[in-house]
Amino acid sequence: MKKQLTFLSIFLSVLCFTVKAQSSNSYYVDGSQLTNGTGTLANPWNRIWYAVNRVRDTTKEEIVYIKAGRYSIDPNDYLTQLYISDVHGGGGGKYLTLRTYAGDEGKVIIDGSNLITNP
């Protein structure tokens, strides 16, 4: 009986982790693309802004993978601006995670040098 309970506990634990792993969506951004894709690895979006706004109404965890490159923020071009608020995640198991593509760690630059701040 003890063996069966141990086996059942292990089985349920593995099942829970599997369900959690399947409950997130992955999307991809590659700023070198000239046109905006569908967010898949084969056809990525070309702007971080689009990815953040596309995943805002989801009920699942969302992971956006960003390809190496420089992503400039222009205060006069809303297509380059980033605004992340509570509607993008943080509650009820709904999280938005921005990550680099595998192997691109340290190679993604979000450049806000064009921005002017008022003290």
67 within a domain of the structure (yes/no) = yes
Tell me the pLDDT band of 113, cut-offs 50, 70 and 90.
confident
Which residues form the domain of 53?
24-111
Give the E-state strand segments of 1-119 in sequence order. Answer: 24-29, 61-66, 69-72, 96-100, 108-111
For residue range 2-46, list pLDDT tens digits in order. 444 444 344 445 444 434 444 678 999 999 999 899 999 999 999
Domain count, the chain: 1
CA distance 61 to 76: 31
Q: pTM (2 decimals)? A: 0.70
2 within a domain of the structure (yes/no) = no
CA distance 65 to 104: 10
For residue range 80-108, list pLDDT tens digits in order. 877 777 666 656 667 888 999 999 999 99
19 within a domain of the structure (yes/no) = no
Cα torsion through 23, 39, 97, 48, rounded to 10:
-160
